[in-house]
């Protein structure tokens, strides 16, 4: 039997739940998931350590999780049964409590703060998310020495509660099209900020509607009669004493969205708002007292916060998909349905090859994205370290990589979450499964911080010059060799096809811009293939770091499944580029089926290795103990509708 350890408090809680369950439920349902765990061929705990980055990190993560889970202040009512206003109020209350708890426990490391927040918010969002994720990071990276000394203490003490106001009502991903202006007045040494049109109103920033009293505002800088493009400004929005909007600031909540019910996404209209000259973030670009503009060493430095968030989103794609796979795979081991052979008991739906084909490639993708997220975190910190030393050479490559992988991972993760929901049948549609919440709160990543199609085109713009070098790299020498090599060659051929398409358009005597636009489908296709190749490459590189035989074996199976699934999904590309024949694609299909069968005994153990406790999943279907149906019934009975009587029907029932 495989060794599988969990925190003791979770074990005791699970035992108490099982002890209270009806005898037939315990006998018929609960043992199924533990039996699945006995089939594993690898040590789950060792794989968890790899995902966390080491034994000590796993230990510390669990300690932090236990602080939240055992805290009575965070035992709140199910958000699914609250109105939007109630959810927002609850989120603000919990965010404030969280900050006080972090101070009490002395948790200051950014990774540990992120871990604590991940547990306390579950599958929802916190009220102060943009303060932590965008306002503070922008201050850290773009304030000069004097600004840092003034603003960082205010932000870290939450006297200055901030958001990041970039997107406008009429412009989003096309940053050069933003219309908000910041015009410098040398006579008074202030910037005058304006929203000159209806489309220039800032729209969507989280925390803007009610919570924040400051914002980093992206605006077109005008000085000495010239426009110098987008720059970042610290703009007070509300009084730090009364929280009332300041003169010239028109601000409010934009209303309900498709998810994010706890977040006050807002609008901001600026009407001749005057801020001091030193409220422009001036670590790199600056405006002198007389209005002279000093340009930054790299124009992309203004967008550093976006690159940071895009890098984070890649990791979030892995986490969201891992949670969804955990729920769907555990439920698939509990649920019995139909017959494979007439007259025999209903099998687990995970025994159906079609169910495996839905879920196991997504499981492989979740692992791939987890490792890519680790890589992006390392690359971001390395390159930002170089930037702090004055080396900006790798910033364009980081911008391209974060843009492409952000688009690639969020597209596939969003689709994968929905597949997991449908794989759970009708019960996946219930919010008690948590899958609807995971979906509606993750899918906006396809548009925020850069609309995905535009991100893919930016990737192609930045990477095409390096493609000959990149895809000429030698292949790895293990079971992924053929698929890895074919993937790299396929990208190279697709880039060639896109380049030929542009050349053909130029021969028609159209402009370069029109030639690019008329070839955009080919460019996105090549960028998508490039990102798939990068993920396969990083997955393969991760395997080289793993010494445990059992873990290496199961991860190699996942890696090969991920690579071959990509080839099968894009078989037309491989046929068009002449890299694979129809018989070879048939062999790919057969090998895929074999890999599904190999992974079947390890499926539950592989999602267990993600180590999401029940409180983090908040899913009845994905319960660790597998006791699904009894708890679905209990959850449904808590619905507020069950506490009131029906109204308005009496007139229909009256006699004529």
Name every residue whose Cβ is closer than 8 Å to that of residue 100 and which is 6 or more positions away in sequence: none
Q: Within the chain, which residue ranges are assigned CATH 2.40.110.10?
A: 162-296
Chunked into runs of 10 residues, the chain (656 residues) has average pLDDT values of 36 38 38 87 97 95 93 80 90 90 90 87 82 92 95 96 96 89 97 98 96 97 96 97 97 94 96 98 95 86 72 92 98 91 89 97 98 90 80 79 92 97 97 96 90 82 39 37 65 79 84 83 86 92 95 97 93 86 91 97 98 93 95 94 88 76
φ and ψ at residue 635, rounded to 5 degrees:
-65, -45
- The span from the CA of 653 to the CA of 359, in Å, is 49
**The pLDDT value given to residue 480:** 54
Q: Within the chain, which residue ranges are assigned CATH 1.20.140.10?
A: 304-463+477-610
- Cβ atoms < 10 Å from Cβ of 112: 18
Catalytic option among 45, 262, 316, 449 = 449
* Helix (H) / strand (E) containing 235: strand 226-236
Q: Is 95 helix (H, G, I), strand (E, B) or coil?
A: helix
**The pLDDT value given to residue 481:** 55
**216 and 205 Cβ atoms separated by less than 8 Å:** no
Name every residue whose Cβ is closer than 8 Å to that of residue 355 and which is 6 or more positions away in sequence: 332, 349, 423
Between the two ends of the chain, the Cα-to-Cα distance in Å is 71
Burial tier of 643 (Cβ tally within 10 Å: 0-12, 13-18, 19+) = exposed
**The pLDDT value given to residue 271:** 98
**The pLDDT value given to residue 76:** 65
- Cβ atoms < 10 Å from Cβ of 180: 26
- The span from the CA of 354 to the CA of 429, in Å, is 20
Instruction: Point out the annotated binding site for FAD.
Output: 167, 206
Whether 449 is a known active-site residue: answer yes
Q: Which CATH number fits domain 46-135: 3.40.50.800, 3.40.50.150, 3.40.50.2300, 1.10.540.10?
A: 1.10.540.10
Q: Within the chain, which residue ranges are assigned CATH 1.10.540.10?
A: 46-135
- The span from the CA of 497 to the CA of 485, in Å, is 18
Domain 304-463+477-610: give its CATH code.
1.20.140.10
Q: Could you tell me which of 429, 405, 420 has the C-alpha nearest to residue 321? A: 420
Give the chain's radius of gyration (CA, Å).
Answer: 27
Q: Could you tell me which of 622, 557, 548 has the C-alpha nearest to residue 367? A: 557
- The span from the CA of 103 to the CA of 614, in Å, is 26
Instruction: Point out the annotated binding site.
Output: 167, 206
**272 and 248 Cβ atoms separated by less than 8 Å:** yes
| CATH fold for domain 162-296 | Butyryl-CoA Dehydrogenase, subunit A; domain 2 (2.40.110)
- DSSP string across 130-181: HIIIIIHHHHHHH--HHHHHHHHHHHHTTSS-EEEE--BSS-SS-GGG---E
**The pLDDT value given to residue 88:** 92
- Cβ atoms < 10 Å from Cβ of 440: 17
């Amino acid at each position: 039997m495989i060794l599988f350890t969990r925190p003791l408090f979770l074990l005791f809680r699970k035992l108490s739940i099982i002890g209270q369950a009806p005898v037939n439920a315990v006998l018929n349902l609960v043992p199924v998931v533990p039996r699945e765990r006995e089939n594993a061929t690898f040590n789950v705990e060792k794989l968890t350590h790899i995902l966390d980055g080491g034994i000590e990190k796993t230990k510390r993560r669990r300690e932090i999780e236990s602080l939240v889970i055992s805290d009575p202040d965070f035992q709140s009512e199910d958000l699914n049964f609250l109105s939007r206003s109630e959810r927002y109020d609850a989120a603000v209350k919990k965010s404030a409590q969280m900050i006080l708890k972090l101070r009490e426990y002395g948790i200051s490391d950014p990774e540990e703060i992120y871990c604590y927040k991940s547990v306390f918010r579950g599958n929802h969002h916190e009220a102060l998310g943009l303060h932590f994720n965008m306002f503070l990071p922008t201050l850290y990276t773009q304030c000069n020495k004097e600004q840092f000394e003034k603003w960082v203490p205010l932000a870290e003490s939450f006297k200055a509660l901030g958001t990041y106001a970039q997107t406008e009502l009429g412009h989003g991903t096309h940053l050069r099209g933003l219309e908000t202006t910041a015009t410098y007045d040398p006579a008074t040494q202030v910037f005058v900020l304006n929203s000159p049109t209806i489309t220039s109103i800032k729209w969507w920033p989280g925390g803007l509607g009610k919570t924040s009293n400051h914002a980093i505002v992206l605006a077109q800088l005008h000085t000495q009669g010239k426009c110098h493009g987008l720059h970042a400004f610290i703009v007070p929005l509300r009084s730090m004493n009364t929280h009332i909007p300041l003169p010239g600031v028109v601000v409010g909540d934009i209303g309900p969205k498709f998810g994010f019910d706890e977040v006050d996404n807002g609008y901001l209209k600026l009407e001749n708002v005057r801020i001091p000259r030193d409220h422009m973030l001036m670590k790199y670009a600056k405006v002198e007292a007389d209005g002279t503009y000093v340009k930054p060493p790299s124009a992309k430095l203004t967008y550093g916060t976006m690159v940071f968030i895009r890098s984070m989103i890649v990791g979030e794609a892995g986490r969201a998909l891992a949670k969804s796979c955990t729920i769907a795979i555990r439920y698939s081991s509990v649920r019995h349905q139909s017959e494979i052979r007439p007259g025999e008991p209903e099998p687990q739906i995970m025994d159906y090859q079609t169910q495996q084909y839905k879920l196991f490639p997504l499981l492989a993708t979740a692992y791939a994205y987890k490792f890519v997220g680790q890589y992006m975190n390392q690359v971001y910190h390395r390159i930002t370290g170089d930037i702090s030393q004055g080396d900006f050479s790798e910033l364009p490559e980081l911008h391209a990589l974060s843009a492409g992988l952000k688009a690639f991972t969020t597209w596939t993760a969003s689709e994968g979450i929905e597949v997991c929901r449908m794989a759970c049948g009708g019960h996946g549609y219930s919010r008690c499964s948590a899958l609807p919440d995971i979906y509606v709160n993750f899918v906006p990543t396809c548009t925020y911080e850069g609309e995905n199609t535009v991100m893919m085109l930016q990737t192609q713009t930045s990477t095409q010059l390096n493609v000959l070098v990149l895809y000429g790299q030698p292949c790895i020498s293990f079971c992924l060799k053929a698929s890895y090599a074919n993937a790299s060659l396929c990208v190279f051929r697709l880039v060639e096809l896109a380049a030929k398409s542009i050349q053909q358009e130029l021969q028609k005597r159209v402009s370069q811009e029109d030639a690019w636009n008329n070839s955009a489908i080919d460019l996105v296709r090549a960028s998508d293939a490039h990102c798939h190749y990068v993920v396969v490459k990083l997955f393969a590189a991760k395997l080289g770091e793993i010494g445990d035989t059992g873990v290496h074996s199961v991860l190699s199976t996942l890696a090969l499944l991920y690579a071959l699934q990509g080839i099968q999904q894009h078989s037309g590309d491989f046929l068009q580029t002449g890299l694979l024949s129809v018989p070879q694609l048939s062999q790919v299909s057969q090998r895929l089926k074999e890999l599904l069968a190999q992974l079947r005994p390890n499926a539950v153990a592989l999602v267990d290795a993600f180590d999401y406790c029940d409180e983090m999943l908040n899913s009845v279907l994905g319960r660790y103990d597998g006791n699904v149906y009894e708890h679905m019934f209990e959850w449904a009975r808590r619905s507020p509708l069950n506490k009131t009587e029906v109204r308005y029907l009496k007139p229909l029932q009256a006699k004529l």
